[in-house]
Chain A
Amino acid sequence: MITIENFILITILSPLIVSVLTPFISKNTILRDFLGPIGGVISSWGAFNIMSSALNNQNITLNIVKIAEGISIGFEITPLGAIFGLVASFLWIFAAIYSVGYMRGSKEKNQTRFYAFYAIAVHAALCIAYAGDLLTLFIFYEVLTFSTYPLVTHKQNEMAQKAGRLYMSILVGSSVILLLPAIIWVWVATGSLEMSQNGVLDGKLDVAYAPLLLAMFVFGIGKAALMPIHKWLPAAMVAPTPVSALLHAVAVVKAGVFTMLIVLTNVFGIDFLTKTGASQWLIWLASFTLLATSIIAIYKDDLKARLAYSTISQLSYITLGGALATSMATQGAALHIITHAAGKITLFFVAGALYVGAKITKISDLNGHGLSTPLIFLAFFIGSLSIIGVPPMAGSWSKFFLMLGAADSGYVVVIGVFCISTILNAFYLMEIPARAFFFKKERDIKVKIPKLILIPTLITSFLTITLFFFIEPFQNLTSMMVGKI
Chain B
Amino acid sequence: MIDILTKNLSILVVLCPLITSLFVVLIPNIFFSWVLTTLSTFLTFLFSILLYQEIQIHSHISYALGKWMPPIGIEYIIDKVAIIPIIIISGISFIATIFAYKIMPEEIENKSISKVYSLWLLAIAGLLGLVTTGDAFNLFVFLEISSLASVALVAMGAQKDKQALVAAYNYLIIGAVGATLYVIGVGLLYGITGTLNMEDLTNRISDLNNNKALIAGFGFMIIGIMVKAAVFPLHIWLPRAYAYAPSAVSVLLAATATKASLYILARILFSVFENSENLINITLLYVIFPLSIIAMFAGTIMAIYEKDIKRLLAHSSVAQIGYITLAFAIGTKASIAAGFIHMFNHAIIKGGLFIAITSLGFYIQKRVTINNLSGLGRAMPITFFCFVLCSLSLAGLPLTAGFISKLYLIKATISSEAIWIAILILISSALSVVYLWKMIEVMWMREGRKIVIKENPTIYMSLIIITFFNIYFGLDASLVVNGSFEAAEKLIGDLK
Contact = CB atoms under 8 A, between A and B. Distances in A.
Contacts of B437: 165, 168
A224 B227 CA distance: 46
Interface string B420-456: 0011001101100110010001001100000000000
Interface in A145-185: 146, 153, 156, 161, 164-165, 168-169, 172-173, 176-177, 180-181, 184-185
A69 interface: yes
B177 to A, nearest CB: 38
B423 A139 contact: no
B110 to A, nearest CB: 42
A69 B476 CA distance: 10
A68 B477 CA distance: 5
A156 B445 contact: yes
A206 B33 CA distance: 65
A173 B430 contact: yes
Nearest to B475: A65
A468 to B, nearest CB: 39
Nearest to B473: A67
Nearest to A158: B445
B430 to A, nearest CB: 5
B478 A65 contact: no
Contact of B441 (A142, A143, A161, A181): A161
Range of interface residues on A (Cβ < 8 Å): 20 to 34
Nearest to A65: B475
B481 interface: yes
Given A184-B407, A185-B419, A68 B482 contact: yes
A168 B476 CA distance: 27
Contact of B410 (A68, A71, A180): A180
- For chain B, what secondary structure do more than half of its interface residues adopt (helix, strand, loop), or is it mixed? helix
B465 interface: no
Contacts of B433: 168-169, 172-173, 176
A378 to B, nearest CB: 40
Interface string B396-425: 111100001011001100110001001100
A69 B478 contact: yes
Contacts of A169: 433-434
Given A172-B430, A181-B422, A181-B426, A153 B445 contact: yes
Contacts of A69: 478, 481-482
Contacts of A146: 392, 397
Contacts of B415: 188
Contact of B414 (A66, A164, A181): A181
B475 A67 contact: yes
A176 B395 CA distance: 10
A171 B481 CA distance: 29
Nearest to B426: A177
A188 B411 contact: yes
Interface in B330-356: none
Contacts of B481: 68-69
A187 interface: yes
Interface in B445-496: 445, 474-478, 481-482
Contacts of B474: 67
Contacts of B441: 161, 164-165
B423 A181 contact: yes
Contact of A68 (B397, B406, B422, B478): B478
B145 to A, nearest CB: 36
Contacts of A66: 476, 478
B427 A177 contact: yes
Contacts of A187: 411
A136 to B, nearest CB: 9
A176 B398 contact: no
Interface string A341-356: 0000000000000000
A139 B399 contact: yes
A184 B478 contact: no
Contacts of B477: 67-68
Nearest to A136: B398
A223 to B, nearest CB: 15
26 contacts: A67-B474, A67-B475, A67-B476, A67-B477, A67-B478, A68-B404, A69-B478, A71-B407, A143-B398, A143-B399, A153-B445, A156-B445, A165-B441, A168-B433, A168-B437, A169-B433, A176-B430, A177-B423, A181-B414, A181-B422, A184-B407, A184-B410, A184-B411, A184-B414, A184-B422, A188-B415
The list of the 6 closest CB pairs from A to B, nearest first, reads: A139-B398, A68-B481, A68-B477, A68-B478, A177-B426, A181-B422
Interface of A: 65-69, 71, 138-139, 142-143, 146, 153, 156, 161, 164-165, 168-169, 172-173, 176-177, 180-181, 184-185, 187-188
Interface of B: 392, 396-399, 404, 406-407, 410-411, 414-415, 419, 422-423, 426-427, 429-430, 433-434, 437, 441, 444-445, 474-478, 481-482
Given A173-B433, A184-B411, 13 more contacts: A65-B476, A67-B477, A139-B399, A156-B444, A156-B445, A161-B441, A165-B441, A176-B429, A176-B430, A176-B433, A181-B422, A184-B410, A188-B414
